[in-house]
């Protein structure tokens, strides 16, 4: 498009943003209007995208990091012919795909946004996939707000992008100087942002964000910049084009006071149709995958840490499947993802100590059809909870693996102990939570999680434990293993991970005292095996959960899932970590927390003495 047409298109995007927000009675038109010229030029002259084939491997990728400017995005979709005007006006209404903040319910949306500072990190993931996995020359454009540059995650992304020389990535920053509450820290000081991006290794271009020719040149310069990502820093006015709202405070997230008047001031509705450039032909590298996976096999009785089994299984999975990739937060020697890194360096991504970028990178890579496994200490995945939450809204299929779970890590102390991770992951919509206790079980679950939907979490342990299952045993997700059972079980011990051997030892000790108890290995913490838990409840009357996790949100809550429809309940006893641990040896930690074999046996004996159980 030429300049005159671009100006017209930008006005149309503004008018449609105003109209959609007016129809909804809510939304962010002023935040859309500031970026309308930036979007118009991109859509008409630079983006290569087949709206009929959003899965086209050659498509450029666009991420609206300032997700509240969704009216602008949807107006652009309309201009491109992807949606019609009637659908545009369903914005924010029940059942509409056009949500307040964009989600992949729309086939052209790569990732859900709306929590600020996440679009660029995910964009980095997509650009990484383009460079190192797809090896296709699609470009990734991320439209950011200026306010969100205060989020540290943006600078994790900036660092990662320049380190990986992502010249296929362009950040477009809509510097409209006004946040939700008022002025940003740096106002219209584009240089302030330029200094920061440059220091982090980016090429920067400062531009008048309402000058379509200047924008056009800036995008061209970004395209021709080699070896580093580019940030186009655009000076804009919030509410641009409507005098009554332009550059004014107090108008964030509100429809314009008088939509009709504003539309008239913007020159009235238009009906320009943009013919977006076709993407070049490209192929999906991971379309070819071998499906035969030779998982590692461990001998019963050997002492193997589940984190070691994780590393070996992941490496084997990577050999069998060309679509599996791994990321780590600079602790691959601890999580053992280094085993994958050694065998498949081309599919391994070192994210350094930046857990938000690691998870966002996984989301971006997954959006391109790859199957990422991202690992760090379980404790440090809490750093990325907002990203995990948003990934679930995106419907992203990512595998997250947290090592060094619980007090069982020993001397390093509470800062390194994952004690909230089960609660955190269980509360994520549609998640799967797995917690293996031995090496063969770990290997099977690592392979099984690859093909699940949504967020999948695997919790591994630091210390060695005895292999108790044979290598050919099956471990369906949603299943469990009944390890001790008799007709005279007086209660059921439900354990997972490090508490399984403790529960078994307790059961054996109790058996010597003439007290039989059932033992269940609940390796699938979400979903749980409803039938087996119900049967145990009916037959033994009492479930005693034993977990190396805080008492809230973990195993103890998970076992309730089969009983929440009003049916008769078993009695419940919960053994969990209730005090703040310090430093001590692993066995001392388990004992202090009351979750070792001795403590379990003592608790059961007390229940028997008090005649709480049958």
Other C-beta atoms closer than 10 Å to the C-beta of 418 total 26
Distance of closest approach, residue 39 Cβ to a copy of itself, in angstroms: 20
Told to judge if 355 belongs to the known catalytic residues of this protein, a careful annotator would answer: yes
> Is 10 or 116 the residue whose CB approaches a copy of itself more closely?
116
Q: In this chain, which of 135, 195, 273, 283 binds a copy of itself, going by CB under 8 A?
A: 195
> Is 136 or 147 the residue whose CB approaches a copy of itself more closely?
147
Site for a copy of itself (CB under 8 A): how many residues?
Answer: 117
Positions 493 through 532 that interact with a copy of itself (CB under 8 A): 526
> Is 10 or 378 the residue whose CB approaches a copy of itself more closely?
378
Q: Which of 355, 420, 502, 547 is catalytic?
A: 355
Positions 530 through 549 that interact with a copy of itself (CB under 8 A): 542
Bridge partners (DSSP) of residue 234 are 174, 207
Q: For the packed helices 152-163 and 190-199, what is the interaxial angle rounded to 10 degrees?
A: 50
Single out the segment in contact with a copy of itself by CB under 8 A; choices: 238-246, 400-408, 457-465, 560-568: 560-568
> Is 43 or 491 the residue whose CB approaches a copy of itself more closely?
491
Rounded Cα–Cα distance for residues 312 and 608 (Å): 43
Rounded Cα–Cα distance for residues 353 and 190 (Å): 29
Distances (CA, A) of 156 to 94, 128, 164, 200, 223: 36, 14, 12, 10, 23
- State the DSSP string of 190-221: HHHHHHHHHHTT-EEEEEETT-HHHHHHHHHH
Contacts 24+ apart (CB under 8 A), 192-201: 193/146, 193/149, 193/231, 193/233, 194/231, 194/233, 196/149, 196/155, 196/158, 197/158, 197/171, 197/231, 197/233, 200/155, 200/158, 200/159, 200/162, 201/158, 201/159, 201/162, 201/163, 201/228
Is residue 564 near a copy of itself by the rule CB under 8 A? yes
Is residue 20 near a copy of itself by the rule CB under 8 A? no
> Is 11 or 111 the residue whose CB approaches a copy of itself more closely?
111
> Is 285 or 358 the residue whose CB approaches a copy of itself more closely?
358
Is residue 415 near a copy of itself by the rule CB under 8 A? yes
> Is 229 or 570 the residue whose CB approaches a copy of itself more closely?
570
Q: With beta carbons less than 8 A apart as the criterion, state whether 334 and 360 touch.
A: no
Positions 420 through 449 that interact with a copy of itself (CB under 8 A): 420, 423-424, 426-430
Distance of closest approach, residue 369 Cβ to a copy of itself, in angstroms: 22
Positions 95 through 134 that interact with a copy of itself (CB under 8 A): 95-96, 98-101, 103, 105, 112-117
Rounded Cα–Cα distance for residues 95 and 102 (Å): 14
Give every CB contact of residue 21 below 8 A, 6+ residues apart in sequence. 27, 28, 29, 32, 71, 91, 255, 256, 259
Positions 73 through 92 that interact with a copy of itself (CB under 8 A): 91-92
Q: In this chain, which of 208, 247, 258, 330 binds a copy of itself, going by CB under 8 A?
A: 330
Torsion, Cα 76 174 109 106, to 10 degrees, reads -50
Rounded Cα–Cα distance for residues 513 and 532 (Å): 26
> Is 134 or 146 the residue whose CB approaches a copy of itself more closely?
146
Distances (CA, A) of 118 to 158, 366, 385, 386: 12, 15, 12, 9
> Is 193 or 469 the residue whose CB approaches a copy of itself more closely?
193
Distance of closest approach, residue 199 Cβ to a copy of itself, in angstroms: 4
Positions 299 through 328 that interact with a copy of itself (CB under 8 A): 328
Is residue 51 near a copy of itself by the rule CB under 8 A? no
Give every CB contact of residue 41 below 8 A, 6+ residues apart in sequence. 6, 10, 212, 215, 216, 219
Other C-beta atoms closer than 10 Å to the C-beta of 575 total 27
According to DSSP, the β-strands at 230-235 and 571-577 are: unpaired
Q: For residue 313, count CB atoms less than 10 angstroms from its CB and return exposed for 0-12, middle for 13-18, buried for 19 or more.
A: buried
Is residue 72 near a copy of itself by the rule CB under 8 A? no
Distance of closest approach, residue 95 Cβ to a copy of itself, in angstroms: 7
Positions 334 through 393 that interact with a copy of itself (CB under 8 A): 334, 338, 350, 352-357, 379-380, 382-383, 385-386, 389-390, 392-393
Distance of closest approach, residue 57 Cβ to a copy of itself, in angstroms: 27
Distance of closest approach, residue 352 Cβ to a copy of itself, in angstroms: 4
Single out the segment in contact with a copy of itself by CB under 8 A; choices: 11-19, 33-41, 330-338, 466-474: 330-338
Rounded Cα–Cα distance for residues 470 and 465 (Å): 14
Distance of closest approach, residue 357 Cβ to a copy of itself, in angstroms: 8
Is residue 333 near a copy of itself by the rule CB under 8 A? yes
| Binding-residue pattern over the window 220 to 249 for a copy of itself, x denoting contact by CB under 8 A | ------------------------------
According to DSSP, the β-strands at 464-466 and 492-495 are: unpaired
Q: In this chain, which of 419, 443, 449, 496 binds a copy of itself, going by CB under 8 A?
A: 419
Is residue 150 near a copy of itself by the rule CB under 8 A? yes
Q: With beta carbons less than 8 A apart as the criterion, state whether 186 and 193 touch.
A: yes
Distance of closest approach, residue 425 Cβ to a copy of itself, in angstroms: 9
Cis peptide before 15 (omega within 30 of 0): no
Is residue 196 near a copy of itself by the rule CB under 8 A? yes
Residue ranges in 106-211 assigned as alpha helix (H): 119-128, 152-163, 190-199
Is residue 484 near a copy of itself by the rule CB under 8 A? no
Q: Tokens 């671009």 label which residue?
A: 6
Distance of closest approach, residue 7 Cβ to a copy of itself, in angstroms: 31
Q: With beta carbons less than 8 A apart as the criterion, state whether 28 and 71 touch.
A: yes
Positions 571 through 600 that interact with a copy of itself (CB under 8 A): 571-574, 579-580, 582-585, 588, 592
> Is 266 or 326 the residue whose CB approaches a copy of itself more closely?
326
| Binding-residue pattern over the window 174 to 193 for a copy of itself, x denoting contact by CB under 8 A | -----xxx--xx--------
> Is 5 or 189 the residue whose CB approaches a copy of itself more closely?
189
Active-site residue numbers?
355
């Amino acid at each position: 498009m030429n300049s005159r047409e671009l100006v017209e298109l930008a006005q149309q995007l503004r008018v449609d943003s105003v109209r959609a927000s007016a129809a909804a009675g809510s939304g962010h038109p002023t935040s859309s209007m500031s970026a309308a010229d930036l979007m118009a030029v991109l859509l008409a002259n630079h983006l290569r995208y087949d709206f009929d084939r959003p899965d086209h491997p050659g498509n450029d990728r666009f991420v609206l990091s300032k997700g509240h400017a969704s009216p602008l995005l949807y107006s652009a979709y309309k201009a491109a012919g992807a949606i019609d005007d009637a659908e545009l006006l369903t914005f924010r209404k029940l059942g509409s795909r056009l949500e307040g903040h964009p989600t992949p319910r729309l086939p052209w949306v790569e990732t859900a946004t709306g929590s600020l500072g996440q679009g660029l990190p995910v964009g980095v993931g997509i650009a990484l996939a383009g460079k190192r996995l797809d090896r296709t020359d699609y470009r990734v454009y991320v439209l950011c707000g200026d306010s969100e540059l205060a989020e540290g995650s943006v600078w994790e992304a900036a660092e990662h992008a320049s380190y990986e020389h992502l010249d296929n990535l362009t950040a477009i920053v809509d510097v409209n100087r006004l946040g939700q509450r008022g002025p940003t820290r740096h106002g219209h000081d584009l240089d302030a942002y330029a200094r920061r991006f440059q220091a982090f290794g980016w090429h920067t271009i400062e531009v008048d964000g309402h000058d379509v020719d200047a924008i056009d040149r800036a995008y061209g310069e970004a395209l021709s910049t080699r070896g580093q990502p580019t940030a186009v820093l655009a000076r804009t006015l919030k509410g641009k084009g409507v005098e009554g709202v332009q550059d004014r405070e107090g108008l964030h997230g509100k429809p314009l006071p008088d939509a009709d008047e504003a539309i008239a001031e913007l020159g009235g509705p238009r009906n320009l149709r943009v013919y977006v450039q076709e993407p070049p032909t490209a192929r999906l590298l991971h379309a070819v995958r071998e499906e035969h996976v030779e998982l590692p096999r461990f001998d019963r009785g050997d002492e193997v840490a589940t984190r070691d089994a994780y590393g070996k299984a992941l490496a084997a999975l990577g050999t069998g499947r060309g679509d599996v990739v791994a990321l780590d937060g600079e602790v691959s020697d601890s999580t053992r993802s280094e085993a994958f890194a050694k065998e498949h360096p081309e599919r391994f991504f070192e994210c350094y100590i930046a857990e938000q970028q690691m998870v966002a990178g996984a989301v971006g890579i997954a959006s391109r059809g790859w199957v990422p496994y991202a690992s760090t200490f379980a404790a440090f995945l809490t750093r990325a909870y907002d990203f995990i939450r948003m990934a679930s809204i995106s419907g992203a299929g990512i595998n997250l693996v947290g090592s060094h779970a619980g007090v069982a890590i020993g001397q390093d102390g509470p800062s390194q102990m994952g004690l909230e991770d089960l609660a955190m992951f269980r509360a994520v919509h549609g998640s799967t939570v797995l917690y293996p206790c031995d090496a063969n079980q770990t290997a099977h679950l690592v392979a099984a999680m690859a093909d699940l939907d949504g967020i999948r979490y695997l919790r591994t342990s630091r210390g060695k434990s005895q292999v108790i299952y044979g290598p050919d045993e099956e471990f369906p997700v949603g299943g469990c293993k009944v390890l001790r059972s008799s007709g005279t079980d007086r209660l059921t011990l439900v354990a997972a991970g490090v508490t399984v051997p403790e529960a078994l030892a307790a059961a054996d000790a109790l058996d010597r005292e003439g007290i039989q108890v059932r033992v269940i290995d609940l390796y699938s913490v979400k979903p749980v095996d409803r039938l087996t838990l119900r049967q145990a409840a009916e037959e033994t009357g009492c479930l005693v959960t034993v977990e190396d996790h805080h008492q809230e949100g973990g195993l103890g809550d998970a076992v309730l899932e089969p009983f929440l429809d009003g049916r008769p309940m078993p009695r419940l006893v919960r053994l969990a970590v209730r005090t703040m641990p310090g430093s001590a040896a692993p066995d001392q930690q388990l004992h202090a927390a009351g979750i070792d074999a001795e403590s379990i046996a003592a608790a059961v004996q007390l229940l028997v003495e008090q005649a709480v159980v049958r």
